[in-house]
Structure 1
Amino acid sequence: MSQPPLLLTVGEIARRLDTKIHRIEYIIRSRRIEATGCAGHARVFSQASLDHIASKLSRMDADRHPSTRSNG
């Protein structure tokens, strides 16, 4: 029996990425990331969305702190 797809709320994404909800909301809004669906009144996102948000968050942090980039 296959598992149902993983669906994550904004709060769960923030918890998994160890960041604040407002940062996740900003990425979702500014990058126009669409919710996979709704669970009640909460938007839910897929694992692929989580990966995409994590990538954008890392990029934002790198742009914010350029001294942490490697010079190679």
Structure 2
Amino acid sequence: MSQPPLLLTVGEIARQLQTKVHRVEYVIRSRRIEASGWAGHARVFSQANLTHIASELRRMDADRRRDATSTEKEVSTHGSV
């Protein structure tokens, strides 16, 4: 007998990804990720959604690091910004 799919709340996604709930909420809202369903008043998301959210968080972090590095290079090349 197969197991039902595991559905995750926003809080559980944040816990599994070791990040803050507001970051997960931001990705869901800005990338228009739809919930797989509802459990009472809580939205629940699939494992595929978890993977998508994780990849978007990694991309955001990489963009932030790249922007910080380019700002540091500007400061060292041109003096203060």
User: Do both proteins adopt the same fold according to a TM-score greater than 0.5, normalized to the shorter chain?
Assistant: yes
Query: Which residue does 2:43 correspond to in 1?
Result: 43
Structure 1 residue 5, shift from structure 2 partner: 0.2
Structure 1 runs of 4+ with >6 Å offset: none
Unaligned 5+ runs, structure 1:
68-72
Query: Which residue does 2:78 correspond to in 1?
Result: none
Query: Which residue does 2:4 correspond to in 1?
Result: 4
What TM-score does the superposition give when structure 1 sets the normalisation length? 0.91
Structure 1 residue 62, shift from structure 2 partner: 0.2
Residue 55 (str. 1) matches residue 55 (str. 2) = yes
What RMSD over aligned residues (CA atoms) do the two structures have, in Å? 0.6
What TM-score does the superposition give when structure 2 sets the normalisation length? 0.81
Letter matched to residue 10 of structure 1: V
Query: Which residue does 1:30 correspond to in 2?
Result: 30
Distance in 2, Cα, partners of 1:61 & 1:8: 23
Letter matched to residue 31 of structure 2: R
Determine what percentage of the aligned residue pairs are the same residue.
79
Structure 1 residue 6, shift from structure 2 partner: 0.8
More helix, by proportion:
2
Unaligned 5+ runs, structure 2:
70-81
The structure having more radius of gyration, on CA atoms, is 2
